[in-house]
Structure 1
Amino acid sequence: MKENIIIKDARGNNLKNISIEIPKNKIVLITGVSGSGKSTLAFDTIYAEGQRRYVESLSAYARQFLQMMQKPEVSRIDGLSPAIAIDQKTVSKNPRSTVGTITEIYDYIRLLYARIGIPYSPATGKPISKQTSTEIIKKVRNLKVGTKILILAPIAKSKKGEFKNEFAKFQKKGFQRVFVNKKLYNIDEVPKLDKNKKHDIDIVIDRLIISKTLENRLADSIELCLNISKGLVYIYHVETKELEIFSSNFSCPISGFSLEEIEPRIFSFNSPQGACIDCDGLGESNFFDPELLIPNKNLSISEGAIKIWEKGINRYYRKILNQLNTQINLPLDIPFKQIDKKIIDILLYGSEEIFIEELQFKRFYKSKLIPFKGLLYLLQKHYNFIKDSWLKDDFDKYRVSKVCEKCNGYRLNPKSLSVRVLEKNIGEICNFSIEKLFNWFDKCQDRLKGSNKIIASPILKEILNRIKFLRDVGLDYLTLNRKSSTLSGGESQRIRLASQIGSGLTGVIYVLDEPSIGLHQKDNSRLLKTLYKLRDLGNSVIVVEHDEEAISAADYIIDIGPLAGVHGGEVVAKGNLKEVLKNQDSLTAQYLTGIKKISVPKKRRIIEKKKSLEFHGITTNNLKNINVKFPVGIFCCVTGVSGSGKSSLIIDTIYPALYNKLNNSNKQSGSFNKIIGDHYFDKIVNITQSPIGRTPRSNPATYTGTFTPIRDWFALLPEAKARGYKAGRFSFNTSGGRCESCSGDGVKKVEMHFLSDIYVKCEECDGSRYNQETLEIKYNKKNISDILNLSVEEALDFFKVIPNINNKLKMLNKVGLGYISIGQSATTLSGGEAQRIKIAKELSKKATGKTLYILDEPTTGLHFDDVKKLINVLQELVNSGNTVLVIEHNLDVIKSADWIVDLGKDGGINGGEIIAQGPPEKIVKVKESYTGKYLLKHLS
């Protein structure tokens, strides 16, 4: 087996025929500026070919279920083994997917509860056990010889009725005595019972005196009793008047609560046997919120007070309003706040006394009147019928979710939650943080006794191993019931990393994309130990990374550059850390050795104490009733370990709350008491890393508005004027100028069935997107398709004499995106690139000086040199009078901020507090601040 992965002439994207040998079974770190070609080498070449070869080796039947990668542009790769990519994409958007299910920890916990769990009666709080008929007979037979007993079969427990038919039926079968409400009667002498009162009735099956010769009669009587009472046996001691209860089922003899066989499936919230019937196993209920539906009560219904109808009321709802107007005098033309509360309640929640025409979603139906159940009910019915996701998204703006009251958010039904292990049900332990969960299961091994300990031992070993892996990658603040869809890209990646270690695979190539994203410096060492474990199992670990600590810890480093785009795509340096540091051509080495650096600002901005944005009493998620202050007109940074509450504070609370204030909107925000200083802003912008468009048609030129003046310019050219072409002629989204064969995409998809679908260049337009007539219009020898293929740098030079185009391109270049083509598909851009395009768009707008910009980890995917450019851009936004609020772990960004809010001290329940607030120089003096500890050496 080859000891190296040998790559010959890799030329994908901007790679310039790279040939390199990469050592196997090592941690290999690929670094370089954004756009230099790192991901192309790691993911589009090494991973793509490794995965493609593995899938090709499978049968045609198996291949149809697997996504197959396109063959990379490379002459030859030797020494490859199966490859697994662990990127930063969210694991699943399925609301049923949780941290517990994707790590398989929950499967083992379900097994544990099924094997050693004990059910408890919700009514009495006492454990419920079941016994076989043999065990019951043995216990009764072991009573003291001479003991007088009655064997009773309960047929009614706290049940209303006269029970005449029951008494007659049992009398016919030969039974002579019966207990009614704890009194013994001959069955034909029972007094008439009040049918409206509850009664307890037990049939006397047999009267016995315990003796050694009783075996057969006792067995027959117990079996008969179990059949009549469906699994219950009451043993009544005649002399002491005590009652012993036995059950062959998991059932409570007092309340009647019963449980079928305890199996793993009853603990699954994805199965009918386990799921809570109210929330269908989701743990939360979604409903239309009146406050979101009617945010402005100064408007009348006709003026759009009910916001979902602000663009017009459809015919059915108009008919409903008219009917309500007739029946309860619902006023449509006065401010909503002046409408009588009783009428509002009927409008929203309905009344059995009001009848309306039934809402139908069929073309042909017979109209019929039904009781009016309220507007909220009708909207929910309408929502359930909607199939289009975009329309559901529109309705979702008026819906909120709350924890299901039936299951308390545990997702399971009462029967499943009645089963406990060491006094805890499965829902309670899934609410523990990973750290607390590890300690609880660790103690389980000591607290369990006898056969339960033997049964649980192998299951606990698997659970503890998997939980430990999650701890090791810095996720000890998560809970198992956390929805996968709420995880960040970095958290999702580290969960998959932990799962891979748990799988124990060897001989695999793992390709990771910036695993340190979202991690505080405090947790970096634990992550690196995890990578070492993966390597030591006998795997090759290839990491695309920029973190200084990770670079220093790697076995082998490959620096791609020297710059981005057409100026990159080469191997600038390779080898161990010492070898790379000696290379003076390496931009990475220059920053690591201090030749180049990001300097601490010589002078920080003056803080105006009276001019600040304040939020008081924030309790969102794990935030502990905190009060936070952000001075206005400066560069603020929010720091803290993973899970400390940074996103809860900024993304879940401050952004939606201030947005609602400024825009009279109804975004759902976290919980807080009051806001002060919102009048200092006229706009708030959350610059996220979400794509700038959902389709390949979106690109930097269209998003930033650069393409509009370009099309206008082409429409002004003499040849275009002579032909009567307007600006729309140069759009690839509309008919006229585009190629109709590929609808302006430039490529056509070919389905390959057992192989991956491939995209081939459109033969009609040769990938240009436009028809021949449109391409004949040229400016400086370039047609509209040529323009879209220009990089930002090239386009800047090309349009240097056209200010309204050049100015927009300057901003893209300023944020470090000079290497991307202006027509590059939005779907091929990284999250960091998308975010910087959005920053460029904001920079090109006319500044109001009263905007609050929010960015969540903008250094994702950025090299030291890119970070330097980003800081300059953020400082420029602040210099225009705006306020910039950044969530960040990068110490170069943190040291450049004017004000820091440090949350912690740790994550989860141990976080949610403000450890320190103030300038960086103040933060480093706070002993409790982890951020201050690591920041100190960067300030010197």
Structure 2
Amino acid sequence: MIQRIMEIPQGTKITLLAPLIKGKKGEHREVFQSIQQKGFVRARVDGELIDLTTIPKLARYKIHKIDVVVDRLIIKNDSKTRLYNSVEICLKIGEGVMFVSQEREKSGADLLFSERYACPACGSGYDELTPRMFSFNSPYGACPGCNGLGNSLDFDPELVVPDKQKSIKEGAIDAWKHWGALTQNHYDNQIKVFSKTFSVPLHKPFGALAKETTDALLFGTKDFEGVIPNLRRIYEKTATERILKRLSSYMSYRSCNTCNGARLRVESLSVKIDHKSIHEIMDLTIEEALEFFITLKLEGNQEIIARPILKEIQNRLRFMMDVGLHYITLGRSSDSLSGGEAQRTRLATQIGSGLVGVCYVLDEPTIGLHPRDSERLLRALKNLRDLGNTVILVEHDEHTIRHADYIIDLGPGAGERGGSIVTCGTLCEITDNPDSLTGQYLNQTVKIELPAKRRRINLRHALEIKGARANNLKDIAVKIPLKIFCCVTGVSGSGKSTLVNDILYRAIYKLLYDSHEVPGEHDTIVGVEHIDKIIEIDQSPIGRTPRSNPATYTKVFDMIRSLFAQTPEAKVRGYNAGRYSFNISGGRCEACTGQGIKKVEMHFLPDMYVLCEECKGKRYNKVTLEVTYKDKSISDVLDMRIEDAHQFFKNISKIERILRTLNDVGLGYIKLGQSSTTLSGGESQRIKLATELSRQETGRTLYILDEPTTGLHFADIQQLLKILHRLVDMGNTVLVIEHNLEVMKTADYIIDLGPEGGSRGGKVVEAGTPEKIAKNKLSYTGRFLRKVL
């Protein structure tokens, strides 16, 4: 402050003032008395200098501004000490704020100085800038409206009024329907009052009403409560679980009104670097952020201070680029990342650490990666190796296997038929070993063949998504032909999951099953009348407890229990099918409640499961196990491999059909009663597929699979493709999001999105047969497809 004041031209007369009153009504006599007692003789009142020998009389109801004159002096080289003392007094009286008035300054504008972190004009203050102010995980930085979450649970107008084609009379306001007689009567009266007050026709479709009208109905006015305020009031006051559950179905997470999803308080968002707040920087993709920090120009002390920080930021961003995460935004929520993306994020952290002599173990790091992006990942892994580390991968990707220094091939089969080392060594040693199934696929002795003939494409008999613009999609229109095997491809982050899962699946599921889940932004989907069922088959577990198993999931166990109940011994004893359920009391072992194992809670360690000492894992009590079918107890049947059970029940057509399907999908090696917690993602997915295959089909079902080859060996992929094509042969439509070239080449139709990921993706690069995609020079997918066609 002293330095700035001393820059005023020599000889200038200045006045140092401390502000006391700013824009307040009143006579303020006590203020004048106070400054008189402190020995000050002048003040500036409403812009005029006055003498304080007598206290001035101010208009009581006018707004006034009062500054006390602390010192008047002439700028000279030898006045610095006096100036220092006067400035110190000024800041003390003015609570950190002071003015300097210059006699030569004709405009009358004062120099304003403040030692506080505050706006001198409005007085809004903030704490000293610290790193915690920019963290939404800290109370010092988090938005007070949402506690740093960026969104809050609130009633969603889209769920409250799910069908805008209906009129209010027809029940467009779903949240005000089907209540008890008293409540329903109240809501009906409210609608009549609203209609009369605002002259709203009750028979007109809700979507055709003016926005002012629908906003008044949904959000209320000063004379009308509104639907959503009414629901909020009930939700906050009720303690009834049933009502809370129903109201929750009309709620979704919406962007916070205070921070608009930025998650930080206003003070933190007001700090900017090169005109960007920290939230705006976090909204950049990794690629855009790297460009921003490389081109950022700072000067003087700022450049010196920021130099080491910028170097670290740029290095870390480059590491994420190296592992193929260029399309992901810096602030993307971790729960929205796929397994592969999360794993690669952790990998980037390790690469950046620069450690040596570390053993890294990665499980399927190429999950969700396009062949182009897999090459980037491979370079990053080789860099880790070259630093002096050991990198161990569990992997099925052919390109990655071919670049490994050493390969360990396990087998020869799956489940109990596996567990042995078939061969190990270099790529040549693997491919030369005739016992290695992996080697046979690598040397092309065994391979997935191209289809002899692709199915005919009829674009007039198709689903058409119009105006898809969720996330990075560029308002595109996409046609998905029906009754074929269709594959959606594109580089990582090109918009595949957004198009298929967020828009297509959610929108059709909402239409067919009246779901409350809101689909991604789009205009409409044409052709839904051609399908009567939509099924998403993923690799999530078929159950989350040891009770769930392939037999229970496919419902074949219900038939087996009924069969045991029909045996002569069971009839004599009066046993029904419920006797053979391990979920209810009667026939099960009560020591383990039919689980066969017991959970032992371990303090500070994960829970452990141990074999039940009472039933020895058989799940049933002794008297239940005395009843047999073909000399096998119910426990013996659950312990059978599926292929053995298929032969055992070959004369029972209903049971045989389901077991045959499970066997056909390559699951003959697993046990009927094998706990779902021990099944891999690929095994769970094939059980779901087998369940669908065993049902009586209408031929109008749309199956959606997202990366179904995850965790699958070449032989498993071949088996999976047989199942998928079999579903299509039954007249259904199979839509797959996939990066695996073996799946792509067998598809009838491919929709390739891109050309890049993130903001540079979201367009249809090409759509057609694999051969057509391969000819497109702009398609990254086409470049790789040419090698396998």
* The two structures share one fold, judged by TM-score above 0.5: yes
- Return closer, same or farther for 1:296/1:621 CA change in 2, 3 Å cut-off: closer
Is the Cα–Cα contact under 8 Å of residues 233 and 246 in structure 1 kept in the other structure? yes
Correspondent of 2:357 among 503, 507, 510? 507
- Return closer, same or farther for 1:221/1:627 CA change in 2, 3 Å cut-off: same
Is the Cα–Cα contact under 8 Å of residues 149 and 207 in structure 1 kept in the other structure? yes
Q: Does 1:602 align with 2:452?
A: yes
Instruction: Supply the distance in 2 between the matched residues of 1:168 and 1:320 (Cα, whole angstroms).
Output: 65
Deviation per CA, 1:614-658: give whole Å up to 9, x if none.
111111000011111111111111000110000011101111112
Q: CA deviation at 1:709?
A: 0.4
Correspondent of 2:370 among 520, 524, 539? 520
- Return closer, same or farther for 1:655/1:755 CA change in 2, 3 Å cut-off: closer
- Return closer, same or farther for 1:166/1:435 CA change in 2, 3 Å cut-off: same
Q: Does 1:279 align with 2:134?
A: no
**Aligned twin of 1:151:** 16
Q: Does 1:435 align with 2:290?
A: no
What is the SS of the residue equivalent to 2:357? Answer: coil
Q: Does 1:377 align with 2:232?
A: yes
Is the Cα–Cα contact under 8 Å of residues 539 and 681 in structure 2 kept in the other structure? yes
Correspondent of 1:170 among 18, 32, 35? 35
Q: CA deviation at 1:749?
A: 2.3
Q: Does 1:423 align with 2:290?
A: no
Q: CA deviation at 1:460?
A: 2.2
**Aligned twin of 2:5:** 140
- Return closer, same or farther for 1:189/1:682 CA change in 2, 3 Å cut-off: same
**Aligned twin of 1:219:** 84
- More moved, 257-266 vs 706-715: 257-266
Is the Cα–Cα contact under 8 Å of residues 299 and 336 in structure 1 kept in the other structure? no
Correspondent of 2:124 among 229, 232, 257? 257
Is the Cα–Cα contact under 8 Å of residues 297 and 336 in structure 1 kept in the other structure? no
- Return closer, same or farther for 1:745/1:206 CA change in 2, 3 Å cut-off: same
Q: Which residues of structure 1 form unaligned runs of 5+?
A: 1-135, 356-370
Q: CA deviation at 1:404?
A: 3.1
**Aligned twin of 1:65:** none
* Residue correspondence of structure 1 range 783-822 to structure 2 within 5 A: 783-822=633-672
**Aligned twin of 1:267:** 134
- Return closer, same or farther for 1:550/1:621 CA change in 2, 3 Å cut-off: same
Q: Does 1:243 align with 2:110?
A: yes
Instruction: Supply the distance in 1 between the matched residues of 2:45 and 2:693 (Cα, whole angstroms).
Output: 85
- Return closer, same or farther for 1:822/1:505 CA change in 2, 3 Å cut-off: farther
Q: CA deviation at 1:728?
A: 0.9
| AA aligned opposite 1:428 | E
**Aligned twin of 1:921:** 771
Correspondent of 1:401 among 241, 250, 253? 253
Q: CA deviation at 1:396?
A: 5.1
* Residue correspondence of structure 1 range 320-719 to structure 2 within 5 A: 349=219, 374-378=229-233, 380-381=235-236, 397-444=249-296, 447-719=297-569
Q: Which structure ranks higher in relative contact order (CA pairs < 8 Å, sequence separation ≥ 6)?
A: 1
**Aligned twin of 1:837:** 687
- Return closer, same or farther for 1:828/1:278 CA change in 2, 3 Å cut-off: same
Instruction: Supply the distance in 2 between the matched residues of 1:874 and 1:391 (Cα, whole angstroms).
Output: 43
Deviation per CA, 1:15-64: give whole Å up to 9, x if none.
xxxxxxxxxxxxxxxxxxxxxxxxxxxxxxxxxxxxxxxxxxxxxxxxxx
Q: CA deviation at 1:539?
A: 2.9
Instruction: Supply the distance in 1 between the matched residues of 2:737 and 2:371 (Cα, whole angstroms).
Output: 14
Correspondent of 1:773 among 617, 623, 634? 623
Is the Cα–Cα contact under 8 Å of residues 856 and 887 in structure 1 kept in the other structure? yes
Is the Cα–Cα contact under 8 Å of residues 164 and 205 in structure 2 kept in the other structure? no
Correspondent of 2:68 among 192, 200, 203? 203
Is the Cα–Cα contact under 8 Å of residues 407 and 424 in structure 2 kept in the other structure? yes
Q: Number of residue pairs matched?
A: 778
What is the SS of the residue equivalent to 2:788? Answer: helix
Instruction: Supply the distance in 2 between the matched residues of 1:809 and 1:253 (Cα, whole angstroms).
Output: 79
| AA aligned opposite 1:740 | E
Instruction: Supply the distance in 2 between the matched residues of 1:382 and 1:897 (Cα, whole angstroms).
Output: 55
Is the Cα–Cα contact under 8 Å of residues 149 and 237 in structure 1 kept in the other structure? yes
Instruction: Supply the distance in 1 between the matched residues of 2:310 and 2:456 (Cα, whole angstroms).
Output: 57
- Return closer, same or farther for 1:832/1:861 CA change in 2, 3 Å cut-off: same
Instruction: Supply the distance in 2 between the matched residues of 1:673 and 1:702 (Cα, whole angstroms).
Output: 41
**Aligned twin of 2:612:** 762
Is the Cα–Cα contact under 8 Å of residues 268 and 274 in structure 1 kept in the other structure? yes
Deviation per CA, 1:865-887: give whole Å up to 9, x if none.
11111111111111111111110
| AA aligned opposite 1:205 | V
| AA aligned opposite 1:182 | G
Q: Does 1:938 align with 2:788?
A: yes
Instruction: Supply the distance in 1 between the matched residues of 2:455 and 2:190 (Cα, whole angstroms).
Output: 64
What is the SS of the residue equivalent to 1:273? Answer: coil
What is the SS of the residue equivalent to 1:251? Answer: coil
- Return closer, same or farther for 1:200/1:692 CA change in 2, 3 Å cut-off: farther
Q: CA deviation at 1:160?
A: 5.7
Correspondent of 1:229 among 86, 89, 94? 94
Instruction: Supply the distance in 2 between the matched residues of 1:869 and 1:633 (Cα, whole angstroms).
Output: 20
Q: CA deviation at 1:915?
A: 0.6
Is the Cα–Cα contact under 8 Å of residues 351 and 374 in structure 1 kept in the other structure? no
- Return closer, same or farther for 1:393/1:671 CA change in 2, 3 Å cut-off: farther
- Return closer, same or farther for 1:865/1:205 CA change in 2, 3 Å cut-off: same
Deviation per CA, 1:71-113: give whole Å up to 9, x if none.
xxxxxxxxxxxxxxxxxxxxxxxxxxxxxxxxxxxxxxxxxxx
Is the Cα–Cα contact under 8 Å of residues 347 and 375 in structure 1 kept in the other structure? no
Q: CA deviation at 1:256?
A: 2.5
Q: CA deviation at 1:174?
A: 3.8
Instruction: Supply the distance in 2 between the matched residues of 1:319 and 1:161 (Cα, whole angstroms).
Output: 57
Q: CA deviation at 1:179?
A: 3.2
